[in-house]
Amino acid sequence: MISNRDTIAALATPLGTSAIAIVRASGPDCAAIARDALELPHPPLPRVATHADYRDRSGALLDDVVAIYYAAPNSYTGDDILEISCHGNPFIAQKILEDLLARGCRPAEAGEFTRRAFANGRIDLSQAEAVMDLIHARSERALTAANQQLRGSLERHLDTLTENLLSALARIEAYIDFPDEDLPAEDRAIVRRGIEELSKGTARLLATQHYGELLREGIRTVIIGEPNAGKSSLLNRLVGQERALVSAEPGTTRDFIEERLHIGPHCLRLIDTAGLNPSPAPLEKLGMQKTLERAAEADLFLLVLDATRPHPNLPPEILEKLSQENALIVLNKIDLVPVAGAATGNSKSLNSKSQTNLKFQISNSKNNNITHFCETSCVTGEGLDALEKAIIDRAETFRRDQGDEIIAINARHADALSRAQTSLVSALAHLDANGPVELLAADLRAALDAYGEIGGRIDNERMLDHLFATFCIGK
């Protein structure tokens, strides 16, 4: 069990040479350490930047620093905090940390500063998780969601659900002390409507889990198509470097290549795959199997087709996964399409018959046409801006807002909400069967406990140990 009576210390910035490094301490000894190490004539003033020499216990000068003291409870952790900004030489920062440890501090465990903030009621557990989401945010959308959760967006939604659940539970428990009294039909109807609304609210939050995964990991965008259609060229164009080998010889890509990139406010995990060859060589078959595996996990497909050739018959396993919502068709090599009526200045004429054939195949397999075609040339760059805009538009459809806020729950939240939903469904079943109010109340209490786990109102030391162990040292 972590004790708040200890004074802990750690580097708050990564190792490496930089302009500034920060060493952080939290606990009851911070004021005394600041006064002694900085040779102050008086206790440090809270929230005032103090420029001073930092001397170790032997009196040796370690560095010229700026220190800020935060007095409890008005600090990040809720305890006294001392933050020392020194020159960004790793040797200097390490010497200051060693001196703090020599003065009685102990090394902070991973996530211990944030855990103290949670233990002291400065933040709830969902906000603590938002701290890590903020640190690791990979896109503008992820940053916005993390900031909103850090400021209590998820907590506010859960508070509303909890208050409504407590209201329903109070109405039911009023009858538990009177076993001979049945729940009147009027109250039964009120409770039913309340539980149904709770179930809908819980379902709305659960529906944001997938979007949460996309924000934290990136949108899995798989580039598929026939060999030599320009899939690797498209990858190289989008990431802005020669990431994949490009050759006129079909079947160059035998394995998948993954790169992260930002397009607009979104982070994409862009995956280039082996070509879908109807008559593959043995090694190509292995590559195509990898393609099918990546397709099974995809959030978004970029189906690259060669505009100069008839469009291929795609494997049924791929067609079944494509839909209007998750796929964009990229007609590549439009710079090579013959110009119809060049003498009269007419524009290029793409193979509309092939487009219609492809739609027909997809309609047969998914009953859903893909109507958005982006015409591109990975050689000239033509059409790539329009393709990026189309990708952004598709990515926006994954967003699940709750009013003006972005809610993006994680797996832990989803587990608790799923258990709450199961309890609410069970409560409705007991209500419909006119069962004992004790069983109905037990279901609602179970849902209440599940809601409480998300914010950390339910004490689970093992879960807390696991969660904060994923944090970095110094946070």
Domain 125-208+407-456 sits in which CATH superfamily?
Answer: tRNA modification GTPase MnmE domain 2 (1.20.120.430)
Q: In what order do the strands lie in the sheet with 266-272?
A: 257-263, 266-272, 219-225, 300-306, 327-332, 373-375
d(CA 116, CA 24): 14
d(CA 443, CA 446): 5
185 is in an annotated binding site: no
Looking up tokens 């258990």 gives 419
d(CA 317, CA 279): 16
pLDDT at 412: 93
> Do 125-208+407-456 and 218-399 fold alike per CATH?
no
Residue 254: closest CA among 294, 305, 289: 289
What number of helices (H) and strands (E) belong to the chain?
16, 14
> Which residues are paired to 306 by β-bridges?
332
114 is in an annotated binding site: no
Using an 8 Å Cβ cutoff, are 24 and 474 in contact? Answer: yes
d(CA 389, CA 385): 6
Question: What end-to-end distance do the CA atoms of the chain give, in Å?
Answer: 18
196 is in an annotated binding site: no
pLDDT at 347: 43
Report pTM. Answer: 0.79
In this structure, the number of other CB atoms found within 10 A of the CB of residue 451 comes to: 24
Q: What's the topology of domain 8-119?
A: Gyrase A; domain 2 (3.30.1360)
248 is in an annotated binding site: yes
Q: Which listed CATH number (3.40.50.300, 1.10.600.10, 3.40.50.720, 3.40.50.2300) goes with 218-399?
A: 3.40.50.300
112 is in an annotated binding site: no
pLDDT at 404: 75
Specify the 3-state DSSP secondary structure of 153.
helix
400 is in an annotated binding site: no
Residue 372 DSSP one-character state = -
251 is in an annotated binding site: yes
* pLDDT average per 10 residues of sequence, the chain (475 residues): 77 93 97 97 95 96 97 96 97 97 96 93 91 91 93 92 90 68 72 94 94 93 89 88 51 67 93 74 66 84 90 81 90 82 44 52 56 87 94 89 81 96 96 86 94 79 69 74
122 is in an annotated binding site: yes
229 is in an annotated binding site: yes
pLDDT at 353: 47
Looking up tokens 């009013």 gives 403
Using an 8 Å Cβ cutoff, are 68 and 5 in contact? Answer: no
24 is in an annotated binding site: yes
pLDDT at 268: 95
64-97 as b/e, with b when 16 or more CB fall inside 10 Å? ebebbbbbbeebbbbbbbbbbbbeeeeebbebbb
Residue 107: both structure tokens together:
């090394």
99 is in an annotated binding site: no
98 is in an annotated binding site: no
Q: Where are the domains of the chain?
A: 8-119, 125-208+407-456, 218-399
155 is in an annotated binding site: no
